[in-house]
Structure 1
Amino acid sequence: MDRIHDIIERLRLTNRYVLAAVLFLVWMLTLADVDLLRMVKTHAERHDIETKMEEHRQRISELEADLEQLRTDPSAKERHAREAYYMHKPDEDVFVYR
C-alpha cells in the first residue's frame, strides 16, 4: 500500500513539473512581450530589409559609376542622350530594337 502511495505521490510531483514546464513554454511562445514567434518574424523581416539594402547599395554604386562616366566621356553623354531620350541629328533616322 505504501508503494502505491509513493507512486501516486511521485506522479503528482511529476505532473506539477510537467504542467509548470508546459505553462512556461506556452507563455514564452505566445504570451510574453518578446515571444519566440515575434522574434522569428522580426528576424525574417530584418533579413529581407538587409537584402534590399544591399541591392540598393549595388544600384547606387552602378549609378555613381555611370555618372562618373557621363561626366568624363563626351561620347558617353551622346550615347546616353540617344538611348534614353531618343535624340538624333537632323539628318538621321533612328530605329529602336528591343
Structure 2
Amino acid sequence: MKNLLDRVPLFFRNFYFLSTLFFVVWLAFVDSNDLFLQAQLSTKKAELEEAKRFYQDKILQVKNDQAALNNNPDLLEKMAREKYLMKKPNEDLFIVVREE
C-alpha cells in the first residue's frame, strides 16, 4: 500500500487539490442543482424565450390589424363578411367550398 501511494504524484495527494476535486464532483453530480438539471433548465429557458418572441409578434400583428380595422370601415366590413360570415339583413349568403 505504501508503495502504491508513493507512485501517485505529490500534486494529486495535496489537500487543496483533493478538496477542490471533491467540491467539483459534488457540484457536478450530487448537488440538487447539478449539471444535468442546469442543462435541462437552459433548454427550457430557450424554449420559453422563443415562445415569448412568438407571442410578442402575434400581439403586435393583432394590434396592427386592430388599428387598420378601426381606421378603415371598408376593411372592417370585408373582414366581417369573409371571416365571420356576417351579412346584411336583406342579403343571402352563399358559401362556396372548393374541393382539393
TM-score (norm 2): 0.70
Per-residue CA distance 1:29-83 (angstroms, 9 max, x = gap): 2212431111101100100000000000000010000000110000111012112
Number of residues of Structure 1 aligned to a counterpart in Structure 2: 94
Unaligned runs of 5+ in 2: none
Alignment of 1:1-98 (within 5 A): 9-11=6-8, 26-89=25-88, 90-97=90-97
Q: CA RMSD in A?
A: 3.1
Q: Distance in 2 between matches of 1:38 and 1:92?
A: 61
* Stretch deviating more after TM superposition (59-68 or 78-87): 78-87
Would you tell me which structure has more helix in proportion to its own residues? 1
**5+ residue gaps in structure 1?**
none
Q: TM-score, normalised by structure 1?
A: 0.71
Percent identical pairs in the alignment equals 25
Per the alignment, do residues 72 and 95 of structure 1 end up closer, same or farther by CA in structure 2, a change over 3 Å counting? Answer: same
Secondary structure of 2:8's aligned partner: helix
